[in-house]
Amino acid sequence: MIVHNAQQDIIFDLPKHIKKVGLKLSGGVDSAILCYLLFKYISEERTDLTVIPITIEKIINVYHFKFSQFVIDFCKKEFPDVKVTKIQKRQQKEQEDHFVAHNLFLKQLKKEKMFDCHFLGITANPSDKVIFKDIKNNIYSHEARERHKEKMLKPTKLGEIYISHRPLINIDKKGIFELYQKFNLLDNLFLLTRSCVSEDSKITSNFEKHCWHCWDCLERKWAFKNPENKFDLELNNV
């Protein structure tokens, strides 16, 4: 299956020997659209595959299990012929880095032969010309973001050596917005996702709402024009 996108086409073409497909879900927009596309591909071309959703819950900012389940439930309804297991969950330990926890969990599941390959919904940062500015005139560039290191990574392909597939790695959030528009998912799947990384339970209504202050919230607003419009944040393109 080829999904056309202005930034880069997304290709799903798994080798025949692959039967169990892991899918890392966070409850955010990127992994949610990847989930939708993977289910669509399986439903149309590979009903012999089984999806194994994988989620890691952060220690403070707790919402990943809940929102990942929303995403899975939506995709199951859209594509009822796709086989999917229950979500494989792991709670991050105290003092444990989120990315370390993530890698350890994937390694463990791979060792247990839970999947033959897995998909990650990592996307590209906005171009260097884009900065975000909040109401207090704080500037947010790539440097403010934990994930900016990922920019240095090359996309991986499925094959004999690699089992990790990151088809969205060259696509930024505006490209992700294009996908939600293309498949009419802005009024349903999009609203079941959460991107915020704030650890403030008060301003996020106990991790239900977005804070509209953190990098991920500002990026969400930049790309999706903030349909939940809670705070009047200023966005600058320079």
Interacting residues toward Zn ion by CB under 5 A = 196, 198, 211, 214, 217
Q: Which is nearer to Zn ion, 75 or 214 (CB)?
A: 214
In the complex, the smallest distance separating the C-beta of residue 204 from Zn ion, rounded to whole angstroms, is: 7
Q: Are 70 and 35 in contact (CB under 8 A)?
A: no
Cβ proximity to Zn ion, 54 vs 217, nearer residue: 217
Cβ-contact 12, 47 below 8 angstroms: no
Q: Which two tokens stand for residue 212?
A: 């509209």
Q: What share of the chain is helix, strand, coil (3-state, %, to 5)?
A: 35, 15, 50
The distance of closest approach from Cβ of residue 227 to Zn ion in the complex, given in angstroms and rounded to an integer, is 15
Contact 71, 32 (CB under 8 A): yes
Least distance from C-beta 211 to Zn ion, angstroms? 3
d(CA 116, CA 29): 25
d(CA 224, CA 238): 19
> Which CB, 26 or 198, lies closer to Zn ion?
198
Pick the closer one to Zn ion by CB: 168 or 211.
Answer: 211
* 70 vs 231, beta carbon nearer Zn ion: 231
Q: Using alpha carbons, list the distances in angstroms from residue 174 to 55, 102, 105, 118, 167.
A: 24, 26, 30, 24, 15
Q: How far is the CB of 160 from Zn ion (least distance, A)?
A: 40
Quote the least distance from Cβ 86 to Zn ion, whole Å.
28
> Residue 140 or 177: which CB sits closer to Zn ion?
140
Shortest distance, position 159 Cβ to Zn ion, whole Å: 37
CA 3 centroid distance within chain: 17
**CA nearest neighbour of 14 among 41, 44, 40, 33:** 41
- Judged on CB neighbours under 10 Å (0-12, 13-18, 19+), 26 is buried
